[in-house]
Amino acid sequence: MLLDLVYATAFALGGLAFLLFALFLGSLVRPHDPSGRKLTTYECGEVPVGQSWSQFNIRFYVFALCFVIFDIETIFLVPWAVVFKNIGLVAFVEMAVFIGVLLIGLAYAWRKGALRWAL
């Protein structure tokens, strides 16, 4: 128990020391050239416009959600296709139910106007 603690402490200290050593080594060899541009938000030089607390259209969120749902569906479909032959009809029915549920969701979103951009 105590030995474990010693190991853990040694590991933590070793990790910290390695980090500091690497930074120190880096500071020896890297050029030192501070400039104002380096302090901007994007180092590529793009100047940000406005505040980051700006309002944006809530519809992005709905679209993203719909996209993610069907993205996940693909993730399930690929392993399903691989083992499909071994499992047979049960797998087909189960996937049909799964996709059916997702389609109801899509039909719902469509009908309720969630996919329309204009309000």
Partner 1 sequence: MSFVSVDFGLLVPELVVLSAAFLVLVVDLLGSRQRGASLWWLTLCGLGLALLLAARGWNLSASTLSGTFVLDPFVSTVKLVFLLSAFLVTLTTLDCRLISRLSLGEYYSLLLFATFGFMVLASAGDLIMIFIGLEMASIPCYILAGYAFEDVKSNEAGIKYFLLGAFSSAILLYGMSFLYGLCGSTFLSEIGFSIGQSGQKLLVMGAFGVFLAGLTFKMTVVPFHMWVPDTYEGSPTPVAAFFSVVSKTAGLVVLIRILAYFKQGFLALEVDWTQVLSILSVLTMVVGTVIGVVQTNVKRLLAYSSIAHVGYLLIGLCAGTSAGIDSIVIYLFVYLFMSIGAFAVVTAVSRAEGGEELANFRGLNRRSPLLAASMAVFLISLTGIPPLAGFIGKFFIFAVAIEEKLYTLAIVGVLTSVVSLFYYCKILKAMYFAEAEDPGAAPVAVSPGMRVGLVLMSFFTLALGLYPVPLVEMARSAVRLWLGS
Residues that bind partner 1 (CB under 8 A): 83, 86-87, 101, 104, 107-108, 111-112
Least distance from partner 1 to the Cβ atom of residue 68, Å: 15
Minimum CB distance to partner 1 smaller for 13 or for 87: 87
Minimum CB distance to partner 1 smaller for 37 or for 111: 111
Least distance from partner 1 to the Cβ atom of residue 92, Å: 13
Minimum CB distance to partner 1 smaller for 13 or for 97: 97
In three-state form (DSSP H/G/I as H, E/B as E, the rest C), the secondary structure along 27-87 is HHHCCCCCCHHHHCCCCCCCCCCCCCCCCCCCHHHHHHHHHHHHHHHHHHHHHHHHHHHHH
Least distance from partner 1 to the Cβ atom of residue 19, Å: 27
Give the Cα separation of 113 and 51 in Å (integer).
31
Q: What backbone torsions phi and psi does residue 34 show, to the nearest 5 degrees?
A: -70, 140
